[in-house]
Structure 1
Amino acid sequence: MESNENVSTLYKNVKNNNCDDDIKRTFQYTRLFFTVSGIWPMITKYSSKRARYLSHLVIFSCFLMIAFTFLPCALHTIFREKNPAVKVVLLGPVGASLGAILKYAIILLRSNTIKKCVEQMKNDWMTVENAEELAIMTNNANTGRKIAVICTLFLYTGGMSFHAIVPILKGTKINEFNQTIRPLGYPGYDIFVDAQRTPIYEIIFFL
């Protein structure tokens, strides 16, 4: 989603001949995460208009998907659930969804600051002058890559497990009307639709 030109051809005073590879390696996982979430074109200096338009579409879709989870569960917890103990349990997924919305919004609001940081890091790679500086930057970049992977796994593995694995472990139930109730990670979808009907159930489960 960024220009295909090498970074070294877009900037002046380049002293590190391998800066293109160094920059790509440094931002490999960060770029992947921000591209999937539609943020990368907003924090890079050379992005096409098409990439920026597409990023807005991705961002809107991400907010829509988070709201798709948050709103039904929040409404169910606040207005329908009467058991205080269950309410407390449901605060977990409600809080997680709300936290995801806030984190995403904060990143978007701080996109200009992140953009300046990205440009500064690119400049640092291009202007590194000796082997000692290069070794320090390479070591720090490798550490940052590892931290990015660990944080991503830690933050999102739990949510995906709760959404997909927990309902499977619960299994189906039979209600008082002798109807088979298939489990979902979050309650409240039946406020808007019949969540047990096919393919509505499959769509909700996938999202």
Structure 2
Amino acid sequence: MPQNKRYQDDILYITQPTRNILLTLGAWPSINRERSVRPQACNFLLICITYTLLSCELIPGILYWLMEKSTRIRLQTIPLLLYDIMSISQYGIFIFRRDQLRRCFKYVEEDWENLISADTRNIMLKSAKMGKRLATICAIFMYSGAFAFRTILPLSQGTTVTDQNITIRPFACPGYFFSLDVYVSPVYEILFTIQCLTGIVMVSVVISASGLTAIFVVHARGQLKILIDLMRSFVQEPSQEERKVDKKLAQIVKHQIRVRR
């Protein structure tokens, strides 16, 4: 029987909002493997949609960089391309290293399941709240920045009419679309929406990476604090029976070995 009967609720609590974002991207490493066809099909569909959106910005961006003759403009587009490549790489890690992430979460679940007292649970919850707060703050800033860059910035620039009487409406990220006239309606609106959705996906990938890091780091921090409390309690308590001493030493050693793993 688990010593912490509420460990499943605790796992759901500490993994928000990272779990919700990764579920939307189809990349959440569920601790219990999904055997039914429907969840796997939904995840596969979400993965295809995510990769399609990411490719819709990366491929035109690379073609634009190759076709552009101005060195200054090419240098300006390099950070956008690097950010696109980084987002696709991070998302690929979520997908292809899902089993490793699942094993990490399995360790986290076992630690929460085997908490020895209410005090240790409070220590873990206190650390988890810090990680959840950091992930939430990161999400707010990242989504706000992406919204401003993808919508407010290009729309605030207005339209430009060239000498050939061609109306140019700016995009957040430039791209090469071959012979497609991207400045006429509804092509411009469609591409503008796709770029906004792609920006949300890219930011979600970055937030998920930060959220996973926060979950594992604060979990390790909580486990170390529990180990310190066990050692302090063992040293500060008055003389005890030899049997109790051996039991507490075994508990400390076992917890230390698990933390180091």
Q: 2:17 aligns with which of 23, 29, 45?
A: 29
Which residue does the alignment assign to 1:171? 158
The correspondence of residues 1-207 of structure 1 with structure 2, limited to 5 A, is 13-40=1-28, 42-47=29-34, 48-78=36-66, 80-191=67-178, 193-207=180-194
Aligned to 1:3: none
TM-score, length-scaled by structure 2 = 0.69
Find the structure with the greater CA-based Rg: 2
- Matched residue of 1:165: which SS? helix
CA distance in 2, matches of 1:95, 1:159: 16
Give the superposed CA RMSD. 1.8
3-state SS of the aligned residue for 2:103? helix
Q: TM-score, normalised by structure 1?
A: 0.85
1:4-41: CA deviations, max 9, x gaps?
xxxxxxxxx3221222321211112121111111112x
**Separation in structure 2 between the aligned mates of residue 133 and residue 168 of structure 1, nearest angstrom:** 52
Aligned with 1:198: secondary structure?
coil
Higher relative contact order (CA 8 A, sep 6+): 2
CA distance in structure 2 between the aligned counterparts of 1:158 and 1:109, rounded to whole angstroms = 29
Q: What runs of 5+ residues in structure 2 fail to find an aligned partner?
A: 195-261
Segments of structure 1 that go 5 or more residues without pairing to the other structure are 1-12
Same amino acid, percent of matched pairs: 28
> CA 1:178 to 1:67, structure 2 compared with 1: closer, same or farther past 3 Å?
same
User: How far apart, CA to CA, are the structure 2 residues paired with 1:192 and 1:92?
Assistant: 26
- 1 CA distance for matches of 2:180 and 2:23? 32
Q: Deviations over 1:16-68 (max 9, x none)?
A: 1222321211112121111111112x433143331111101101110110110
